[in-house]
A and B are shown apart, each in its own frame.
Chain A
Amino acid sequence: MRKHVWIVLVLAFALIAAACGGDDLEGTSVTVFGPESSEEEAGALQDALDILAERTGIDIVYTGARDFSDQINAQAIGGNPPDIAVFPQPGKVADFARQGLVIALPEDVADAATDNWPAAWNAFGIVDGTQYAIPTKTDLKSLVWYVPGSFEAKGYEVPETWDALKALSNEMIANGDTPWCVGIESGPATGWTFTDWVEDLMLRFHGADVYDQWVDHTIPFTDSRVEQAWNEVLDLWNTDGAVFAAGGTIAATPFGDNGQPLVDGKCLMHRQASFYSAFLPENTVTGPDGVDVFYFPAVDPANAPVLGAGTLVASFRDAPEVWEVMEYFSTAEYAEERQKAQAARKGGGDVLSGFLSAANGLDTSVYTPLEQSLVSILSGADVVRFDASDLMPAAVGGGSFWTEATSAVNGDKSVADALAAIDASWP
């Protein structure tokens, strides 16, 4: 009989504990970890989360780290991951999902994601038919930043084709102007800027199908088409007088240090994604009267693909408060709140916030006219491809592709050697 008493006691205790937990989220806490670490981005992300926190009583804390990709590996494999991670790489989400580290979305959250985002973007969070991650932010990569005023003063025209762009670059050099600002340094991720150029050109020269084959290694990295894209970029950069590198060499210049020289007129163009506005000097006016963007020209203007990127959130803990936050991440409300907060932190007015979202039902009035046009490109483009290095396995997309690119850019290795090394490292 004594045994019986024990069991009853334990059950009673458990019932009390369960009652205390319940479904009330008041007092629970959720940690979010991501790569966005600048004051504006991280601050705005937290501001947007605070709105949910106030409504539900969940204590939500966002932490950002510049070396997110290394740290999330250590944390996840080491067994102390955050509750939610903001992944800039769908490839990483897929790796983690197959290793059973991130948790598949429960049905109701997956349904919310389907309602809140276009299918093309949701697809990046789906691994082997199951949705693990929700898009929260979208970047448009195929952009060139420039100052329309300088173009007008010197009589330069925005190019419509890749050949025109090269011609413009050469014309600028001939006139004694420096066409490009380039820097590929980015801590452990040094080299990604170069890979973006290559991806944009792969998509332009060889089309989406070859691009997909390249991403899943159906064609080797040493393929002549890949080599051609690399050489295209390096030839442009290595032309005498083509590049202003604020750090002395391209490889030693932090990618974020190109905003100031562009505004100062040290160079006339800078190819970088839409989020780059977060790196422009404070209170830079954007639009026709300040710093503007043009579409990174296609080889054939009739076939204009879009290279995109973005972040997805995936969860490491199965708890109602976590799913509540996940669901919030997918909503247009989150995007609007974050946009408002980020724009305010950047100085408001015509300043670009650096945040874009293609969420359904988004009230586009929170964006400046320039941003609205970017959003419409994002949600309307026929051919959208995600940043290839973010889709490749970590050993390549977060490793050899970057390091070997850095060697090639710095002239330490030939393109052929670098490509062979990357191909050899493919797992």
Chain B
Amino acid sequence: MEKILEMVIGTLIAVGLSAVIFIGANLLFDLAPTRWEIFGAVAGGGLVLIFFFWLFGNRAITALEVGGGRNPTKIPWQAIVAAIVGGAVGFFLARLTDRNQRLMVGVGGGAVLGLILGLTLVEEARPRLDVGPTITGLVAGLVIGGAIMFLRKGTIRSLVLGGTLGFALGAWGGPGDGGTAAQAVIVSLIVGAGLGVYAGMAKVYTHKDRTMLSERARAIIFVAPALIFIGITLVIPTVRTIYLSLFNLAFFSQTAEREPYSTWTGIFGEPFFIAAVVLVLIGVGYGFYQGSRNGGGYKGNGISLGTYLGGATLFIFSLFIFTDTAEFVGGENYGNLFTDPNTINLSNWTDIFTSQLFQIGVVIALIGVLVGFVAGANRGQRFQSGGASTGSIAVGSFIGVFSLGTVLRGTIMNNLWWVFTVTILATVFGLAIAVLADRSAMESLAKSIIFMPMAISFVGAAIIWRFMYIARPEGEVQTGVFNAIWVWLGDVSGSGGSSAIAAGIMLVVVAMLGYLAYRGFSHNVPGVAWGSVITAIPFLWLAWRFIGPGLGADVEADTVKFLTESPFNNVWMMVVLIWIQTGFTMVIFSAAIKAVPAELIEAAKVDGATENQTFWSVVIPQIAPTIGVVVTTLIVLVMKVFDIPKVMTNGNFDTEVIANEMWQRAFTELDFGLGSALAVILFVSVLPIMYINIRRMQKAAA
């Protein structure tokens, strides 16, 4: 109860605070046109206050400790002092119009703020005044600022801002522990003064400018929270993950001794740095080329700007490399992943030729080809596709590719096996059920039952199936339903009389299916016919086992170890996901089939099309976009499958998948570099699918 109350109060406070900030920001910008000085004071004070509280929250500045004991109250007094200074600076910048006076206020105020900051930074957060990083940062900042000034027709302001920020980045971002107190004060003073110059050089706002500012701000107040939210939840983690994936284990576990960085001149030899320079030169060259075509001079555009941004990114990367030589490994994590036999192991690929499954697939596909040629010959064509031949080729190819999964091992191969099998089977089953259930008497009941697994969480389903797959030792009561049936079959076939009865029942079933198949072929309904033939195969096999070698003793001794016997334990886990997802695909396909216009189907019938032809030539093309959506959704979903392997085997016994290995590497072994690399692989492999999906949505909208 207390927890709930706490949560409710917390939520109320958060909502209230957001409302206050939102309304406050609106009121603040209301002030801008009329009371410019007060606006300046509040904005300046507010910005400084937020900045200092941010530092305080991150324990970067010391605080006044009031009250004794182990848990004193901490007050960030400097935040309050700094806010007052910031407010004063804002006030005077808004009031004064003389350029020199404004500059003086800016520099003076900025320096005071820098002093406050420098004096109160905790030791770990102090910058270092090393020549290498600071000069490099300064130069880089000046280059970027200069480029912006040049391209955007900016003033010297951007140069000042770029230089200051670059210097700050170099001082704080450079290698090594926090510097001395004196260094902190000097760096903070310089940065504060630099930012002060930047603020002091701002143009003097006329009344018109102020009104415009207030109007523009309005839109940002609405959009900014959304952008910040997306930025925080999506963009930052993605960028951070990519960044982290470039480091080795030593970077994350500070237990290992870090190697010292090379001298700062070493950066000129870094490939990233050279690439950055080349990129920027290309951009400049392209700008002048464009300019020469348009009457001389330099002319910037999107492409050259892009190369500058790329160059800047590479430059920042190169900074990290030369500051952290030991921990920065670049693409090594990816290289390791792709060469590690635990991730990709193709060494057994020749086994595919001895794999019975593969041979069966090839035979079925060849039969399909043969049937096509025979049917074509009958009609005077070379090859007749459709019906039996296409179906057989498809089934044969599926089995052939599927059997590849049994010989190619490793995390990534496993994941691809999952994607291939689950996506195709869940789609085919869903479509088949949707078609068969359509117009049948018990449609809604059948569909409800098949849809039900969708309501079970992946973890829940995995636990349920784990119980069903349990194999107990020989002679014990089998508690897993599948092994219970299996052993029961063995017992039945072991005793003479029951074995004959069981075989008889099986043969009766086969005979009935055979009749159905005969009916299907003679009435030209190949779906029913082939379905019956395929269904009959396992029954025939069982009957043969009952009569011939018997399922008897060898079955009882040999329970099926569903979850520990590689490689088919993967398939038994895929069954769980197919079981869940078939309901989903069925519902979508069912809705799509019902949305096919009745006129089209009637028109096809009038033209003499059979049921079968109508389905393949009218219904399927009509629901093709739906199939596309279902398949892409499934691919993305299966690609990141995690819960089922985690619960059922935890990646043991050759069942590792990318998502689970990512968890294992990052959170169990704390190797965030390798974990992040796996996450990036997952992300990149999903991107094309997302792109296709988005493109299709845009097309549909257009």
The answer, yes or no, to whether A262 is at the interface (CB within 8 Å) is no
A406 to chain B, nearest CB (A): 5
Whether B566 pairs with A95 at a CB distance below 8 angstroms is no
Residues of the B chain whose Cβ atoms lie less than 8 Å from the Cβ of A191: 652
A396 to B664, CA, bound (A): 12
Whether A73 pairs with B670 at a CB distance below 8 angstroms is yes
The answer, yes or no, to whether A410 is at the interface (CB within 8 Å) is yes
Whether B472 pairs with A399 at a CB distance below 8 angstroms is no
Give the nearest-CB partner of A98 in chain B: B255
The answer, yes or no, to whether A319 is at the interface (CB within 8 Å) is yes
Q: Which candidate, B66-74, B170-178, B264-272, is the interface stretch facing chain A? A: B66-74
A293 to B363, CA, bound (A): 60
A26 to chain B, nearest CB (A): 14
With A70-B667, A399-B669 known as contacts, the answer to whether A10 contacts B255 (CB < 8 A) is no
The answer, yes or no, to whether B654 is at the interface (CB within 8 Å) is yes
Whether B669 pairs with A247 at a CB distance below 8 angstroms is no
Size of chain A's interface in residues, with CB distance under 8 A?
54
B455 to chain A, nearest CB (A): 25
Whether B67 pairs with A248 at a CB distance below 8 angstroms is no
Whether A252 pairs with B473 at a CB distance below 8 angstroms is no
Whether B563 pairs with A252 at a CB distance below 8 angstroms is yes
Chain A 360-395 interface 0/1 with B at a Cβ cutoff of 8 Å (1 = within) = 000000000000000000000000000000000111
The answer, yes or no, to whether B75 is at the interface (CB within 8 Å) is yes
Whether A18 pairs with B653 at a CB distance below 8 angstroms is no
Which A residues between 379 and 427 are near B, CB-CB below 8 angstroms? Answer: 393-395, 398-400, 403, 406-407, 410, 412, 421, 425, 427
Whether B564 pairs with A251 at a CB distance below 8 angstroms is yes
A393 to B473, CA, bound (A): 36
The answer, yes or no, to whether B253 is at the interface (CB within 8 Å) is yes
The answer, yes or no, to whether B561 is at the interface (CB within 8 Å) is yes
A86 to B667, CA, bound (A): 18
Whether B80 pairs with A319 at a CB distance below 8 angstroms is no
Whether B67 pairs with A18 at a CB distance below 8 angstroms is yes
Give the nearest-CB partner of B80 in chain A: A10
Which B residues between 616 and 659 are near A, CB-CB below 8 angstroms? Answer: 650-654
Whether B254 pairs with A99 at a CB distance below 8 angstroms is yes
Whether A190 pairs with B668 at a CB distance below 8 angstroms is no
A165 to chain B, nearest CB (A): 23
A19 to B81, CA, bound (A): 24
The answer, yes or no, to whether A323 is at the interface (CB within 8 Å) is yes
With A245-B473, A248-B559, A395-B249 known as contacts, the answer to whether A21 contacts B652 (CB < 8 A) is no
Whether B69 pairs with A22 at a CB distance below 8 angstroms is yes
A412 to B470, CA, bound (A): 20
A319 to chain B, nearest CB (A): 5
Most chain A beta-carbon neighbours within 10 Å: one of B249, B470, B563, B652: B652
Whether A251 pairs with B669 at a CB distance below 8 angstroms is no
Chain A 149-191 interface 0/1 with B at a Cβ cutoff of 8 Å (1 = within) = 0000000000000000000000000000000000000011011
Give the nearest-CB partner of A251 in chain B: B564
Residues of the B chain whose Cβ atoms lie less than 8 Å from the Cβ of A251: 564, 652-653
The answer, yes or no, to whether B471 is at the interface (CB within 8 Å) is yes
Residues of the A chain whose Cβ atoms lie less than 8 Å from the Cβ of B342: 421
The answer, yes or no, to whether B219 is at the interface (CB within 8 Å) is no
The answer, yes or no, to whether B84 is at the interface (CB within 8 Å) is yes
A390 to chain B, nearest CB (A): 14
Cβ contact of B652, chosen from A7, A190, A395, cutoff 8 A: A190
Most chain A beta-carbon neighbours within 10 Å: one of B71, B559, B663: B71
Whether B253 pairs with A99 at a CB distance below 8 angstroms is yes
Residues of the A chain whose Cβ atoms lie less than 8 Å from the Cβ of B652: 190-191, 251, 403, 406-407, 410
Give the nearest-CB partner of B664 in chain A: A399
Whether B668 pairs with A73 at a CB distance below 8 angstroms is yes
Main secondary structure of the interface of B (DSSP, over half): loop
A191 to B250, CA, bound (A): 26
Give the nearest-CB partner of A19 in chain B: B67
The answer, yes or no, to whether A209 is at the interface (CB within 8 Å) is no
Residues of the B chain whose Cβ atoms lie less than 8 Å from the Cβ of A120: none
With A394-B669, A394-B670 known as contacts, the answer to whether A323 contacts B70 (CB < 8 A) is yes
Whether A73 pairs with B80 at a CB distance below 8 angstroms is no
Which B residues between 246 and 294 are near A, CB-CB below 8 angstroms? Answer: 249-250, 253-256
A244 to B475, CA, bound (A): 11
Chain A 4-20 interface 0/1 with B at a Cβ cutoff of 8 Å (1 = within) = 00110011001101110
Whether A15 pairs with B66 at a CB distance below 8 angstroms is yes
Chain B 574-612 interface 0/1 with A at a Cβ cutoff of 8 Å (1 = within) = 000000000000000000000000000000000000000
The answer, yes or no, to whether A3 is at the interface (CB within 8 Å) is yes
The answer, yes or no, to whether A37 is at the interface (CB within 8 Å) is no
A53 to B68, CA, bound (A): 23
Cβ contact of B668, chosen from A70, A94, A323, cutoff 8 A: A70
With A319-B70, A427-B256 known as contacts, the answer to whether A252 contacts B667 (CB < 8 A) is no
Whether A73 pairs with B667 at a CB distance below 8 angstroms is yes
Chain B 551-584 interface 0/1 with A at a Cβ cutoff of 8 Å (1 = within) = 0000000010101101000000000000000000
The answer, yes or no, to whether A246 is at the interface (CB within 8 Å) is yes
The answer, yes or no, to whether B51 is at the interface (CB within 8 Å) is no
The answer, yes or no, to whether A289 is at the interface (CB within 8 Å) is no
Cβ contact of A247, chosen from B81, B472, B664, cutoff 8 A: B472
A399 to B564, CA, bound (A): 19
A404 to B72, CA, bound (A): 49
A73 to B473, CA, bound (A): 37
The answer, yes or no, to whether A23 is at the interface (CB within 8 Å) is yes
The answer, yes or no, to whether B671 is at the interface (CB within 8 Å) is yes
Give the nearest-CB partner of A94 in chain B: B255
Whether A95 pairs with B471 at a CB distance below 8 angstroms is no
Chain B 82-98 interface 0/1 with A at a Cβ cutoff of 8 Å (1 = within) = 00100000000000000
B341 to chain A, nearest CB (A): 9
Most chain A beta-carbon neighbours within 10 Å: one of B67, B256, B476, B566: B67
Residues of the B chain whose Cβ atoms lie less than 8 Å from the Cβ of A284: none
Residues of the B chain whose Cβ atoms lie less than 8 Å from the Cβ of A248: 470-473, 559, 561, 564
Cβ contact of A21, chosen from B73, B77, B249, cutoff 8 A: B73
Residues of the B chain whose Cβ atoms lie less than 8 Å from the Cβ of A17: 66-67, 73
A397 to chain B, nearest CB (A): 10
Whether A21 pairs with B255 at a CB distance below 8 angstroms is no
A91 to B534, CA, bound (A): 57
A427 to B230, CA, bound (A): 36
Which A residues between 299 and 353 are near B, CB-CB below 8 angstroms? Answer: 318-320, 323
Residues of the A chain whose Cβ atoms lie less than 8 Å from the Cβ of B473: 244-246, 248
Whether B561 pairs with A252 at a CB distance below 8 angstroms is yes
A320 to B68, CA, bound (A): 11
Whether B71 pairs with A320 at a CB distance below 8 angstroms is yes
B280 to chain A, nearest CB (A): 37
Residues of the B chain whose Cβ atoms lie less than 8 Å from the Cβ of A6: 80, 84
Whether A74 pairs with B667 at a CB distance below 8 angstroms is yes
The answer, yes or no, to whether A236 is at the interface (CB within 8 Å) is no
Residues of the A chain whose Cβ atoms lie less than 8 Å from the Cβ of B256: 427
A60 to chain B, nearest CB (A): 14
The answer, yes or no, to whether A231 is at the interface (CB within 8 Å) is no
A229 to B354, CA, bound (A): 37
Residues of the A chain whose Cβ atoms lie less than 8 Å from the Cβ of B651: 403
Give the nearest-CB partner of A320 in chain B: B70
B456 to chain A, nearest CB (A): 20
Whether A188 pairs with B67 at a CB distance below 8 angstroms is no
Which B residues between 361 and 376 are near A, CB-CB below 8 angstroms? Answer: none
13 inter-chain pairs at a CB distance below 8 angstroms, sorted by A residue, are A10-B77, A15-B67, A23-B68, A23-B69, A70-B667, A188-B650, A248-B473, A320-B69, A395-B670, A407-B653, A410-B564, A410-B653, A427-B249
What 10 A-B pairs come out closest when comparing CB atoms?
A: A18-B67, A248-B471, A395-B669, A18-B73, A320-B70, A399-B669, A14-B66, A73-B667, A319-B71, A252-B564
Other 17 A-B pairs with CB < 8 A, given A17-B67, A248-B559: A7-B77, A14-B67, A17-B66, A18-B73, A21-B73, A98-B253, A246-B476, A252-B561, A252-B564, A320-B69, A320-B71, A399-B664, A399-B669, A407-B653, A425-B669, A427-B253, A427-B671
Q: Which residues of B contact A (CB under 8 A)?
A: 64, 66-73, 75, 77, 80-81, 84, 249-250, 253-256, 342, 470-473, 476, 559, 561, 563-564, 566, 650-654, 663-664, 667-671
